Amino acid sequence: MPAVRETGAVTPFSRLKVRVGALVFCGDEVALIRRDRPGSALYVLPGGNVEPGEDLLAALRRELSEELALNEAGDPELLWVADQMVSRPGPTPPPRKLHLLYRLHVTPAVRATLATEEHDEVPGGHDVGAVEWRHHRTTAGLPIFPPVGPALAALPSPRAPITNAALPPVTDADYTWL
């Protein structure tokens, strides 16, 4: 149960949500979803929130099917974990969010069958994102959420082993909600 202040308001970050995301590689390129905003763009990894009672890998497979039309995700490997406590606009106190980021690889033949647009349902309509494939070494400066660009660009190769799965925490000190 979320923490409630004496005023009856829910304390920010007192609820925990889990989000699964994927670094889907085809060779040296990784799939990112670009969401255009007034005057800027934001990139996100394919993925989404885990539903109550849902298995983590089942949630990842569901999200990859919905966003990329990827129905054969193979055997995803947990790559990174990011802990997010970022304020955001709106009347609902922000949750603390744990991002579980998986890595998987697809062949060029599978990539050719994947979606080129992602339609995210938002109140009153859809937010359309363009699926872009970027060389993983060029992601350091991109506005990616969660902010994995520097870690992704530092990978010696898309299949390189990872010795530390913990990414730096994402807080108001180093991230501003767009």
CA-closest candidate to residue 21, choices 33, 9, 29: 33
CA-closest candidate to residue 154, choices 138, 175, 131: 138
**How is 64-108 classified by DSSP, letter by letter?**
HHHHH------S-EEEEEEEEE---SSSSPPPEEEEEEEEEE--H
* pLDDT tens-digit map of 78-118: 999 999 998 877 778 888 999 999 999 999 999 999 999 98
Question: Looking at the whole model, is its pTM more than 0.85?
Answer: yes
Cα–Cα distance measured from residue 146 to residue 144, given in angstroms and rounded to the nearest whole number:
6
List domains and CATH numbers for the chain: 16-155 (3.90.79.10)
Per-residue pLDDT of the chain (178 residues; tens, 9 = 90+): 445 445 556 788 888 899 999 999 999 999 999 998 888 889 999 999 999 999 999 999 999 999 999 998 789 999 999 999 988 777 788 889 999 999 999 999 999 999 999 877 655 556 789 999 999 999 999 999 899 999 999 999 999 999 999 999 988 888 876 6
Q: Yes or no: say if 128 and 116 are a contact pair by the CB < 8 Å rule.
A: no
The confidence score (pLDDT) of residue 3 equals 53
